[in-house]
Amino acid sequence: MKILFYMPHADAAAWLHDFARALPDADLREWQPGDTAPADFAVVWRPPRDMLAGRDGLRAIFNLGAGVDAILALEHEHPGTLPRHAQLIRLEDGGMAPQMAEYVAHAVLRYLRRFDEYQTLQNEREWHALEPHPRESFTVGILGLGVLGAHVAQTVAAFGMPVRGYSRSARQIDGVRTFAGEAQFDAFLDGVKVLVNLLPHTPGTRGVLNAEVFAKLARGAYLINVARGGHLIEQDLLDALASGQLAAATLDVFREEPLSADHPFWNEPRITITPHISALTLRSESVEQVARKINALVRGESVSGVVNLERGY
């Protein structure tokens, strides 16, 4: 069994070493430009088109992340890039769900307990208590109730504020009020104080964080975008902050990454910026998951996490 690996900026030797331990019979190699030799499986993150195009022998492509938008964009721009018979399989959690829950819970609690405002007071050497936000109306709305969204929803619900979740198909999660489909979108948004985005980036979700949506939230709401930069209409966020409809935003993802040094978001103190780190791909969990699925496919079994190319996630 031949396995091709490609992950820019990663320690490829360490990944190949761990895969060799998990799959001792595999013939593993890091893909280099010009390598067109056959392979059965590809394990990739943001691969170049040349790596995948024409590889009709591939049985599966494992995406070393939850979001497959970058691979699907290749196929959209150059139809036929994805080998026709290869399944595209994404990471399911792989240690990302706890990280995402920590990141979102931290941001929600920072806003609930007004820690940003206390930091400003401290900078000014001012000692006074602020009016607390009432917990019972500090409604957190989570867009996307998949592997990550569902875990985040349950984690945040444990702090006692009302939690809502929104997905395409109906979901049931203890302690979370769920909404499904476009017909329930406005009811989901109505009165939400913290909007968290954990949707996949697809043609149906692009630009979903926009002025019309912000206007339906509670006045002075907060935005946490941990999914993809393409979900956000950037000028609409700046306008909503200027008008007071949004009080602040925490952004981990951006239309262009790295965020350019002259981007207006850097100058807006109400925007908290992190460099796409809310849930990192972890080597040991990812190797274990991918190796387990490769073994299952070799035995002729089906695996979970197969991307529906029509839906885009």
Catalytic-role residue among 110, 164, 228, 283:
228
Task: Work out whether 47 is an interface residue with ligand GLV (CB under 6 A).
Answer: no
> Does 28 sit near ligand NAP (CB under 6 A)?
no
309/90 Cα distance (integer angstroms): 12
Choices 33-41, 61-69, 128-136, 263-271; region in contact with ligand GLV by CB under 6 A:
61-69
Residue 215 CB, nearest distance to ligand NAP (Å)?
A: 19
Residue 141 to residue 165: CA distance in whole angstroms: 6
Q: Give the interface segment with ligand NAP, choosing from 8-16, 53-61, 65-73, 115-123 (CB under 6 A).
A: 65-73
| Main-chain phi, psi angles of 150, to 5 degrees | -65, -40
Q: Does 254 bind ligand NAP (CB under 6 A)?
A: no
C-beta neighbour count of 130 within 10 angstroms:
10
For residue 223, the cross-strand partners are 195, 249
CB of 182 to ligand NAP, least distance (A): 7
Marked catalytic residue, from 276, 283, 299, 311? 276
Q: How far is the CB of 87 from ligand NAP (least distance, A)?
A: 15
Query: Please, is 49 exposed, middle or buried when counting C-beta atoms within 10 Å of its C-beta (0-12, 13-18, 19+)?
Result: middle
* Interface with ligand NAP (CB under 6 A), residue from 199, 223, 233, 237: 199
Task: Clarify whether 106 is annotated catalytic.
Answer: no
Q: Does the annotation mark 231 as catalytic?
A: no
Query: What DSSP element (H or E) covers 115?
Result: helix 115-123
Query: Of these partners, ligand GLV, ligand NAP, none, which one is at the site of residue 147 (CB under 5 to 8 Å by kind)?
Result: ligand NAP
Tell me: does residue 305 bind ligand GLV (CB under 6 A).
no
Distance CA 57, CA 35 (A): 14
> How far is it, in rounded angstroms, from Cα 269 to Cα 258?
19
Q: Does 94 bind ligand NAP (CB under 6 A)?
A: no
Which ranges of the chain does DSSP label H, i.e. alpha helix?
12-22, 49-52, 69-77, 96-112, 115-123, 147-157, 185-189, 211-216, 234-243, 283-298
**Which residue spans within 202-276 are E strands per DSSP?**
221-225, 246-251, 271-273
67 is a site residue for ligand NAP (CB under 6 A) = yes
Please give the residue whose beta carbon sits closest to ligand GLV in the complex.
Answer: 65
In angstroms and rounded to an integer, the radius of gyration of the C-alpha atoms of the chain is 21
Q: Work out whether 168 is an interface residue with ligand NAP (CB under 6 A).
A: yes
Kind of pairing between the strands at 221-225 and 2-6:
unpaired
Active site residues: 228, 276
Q: Which residues bind ligand NAP (CB under 6 A)?
A: 65-67, 96, 144-149, 166-169, 171, 198-202, 204-205, 226-228, 252-253, 276, 278-279, 313
Q: Which residues bind ligand GLV (CB under 6 A)?
A: 65-67, 281
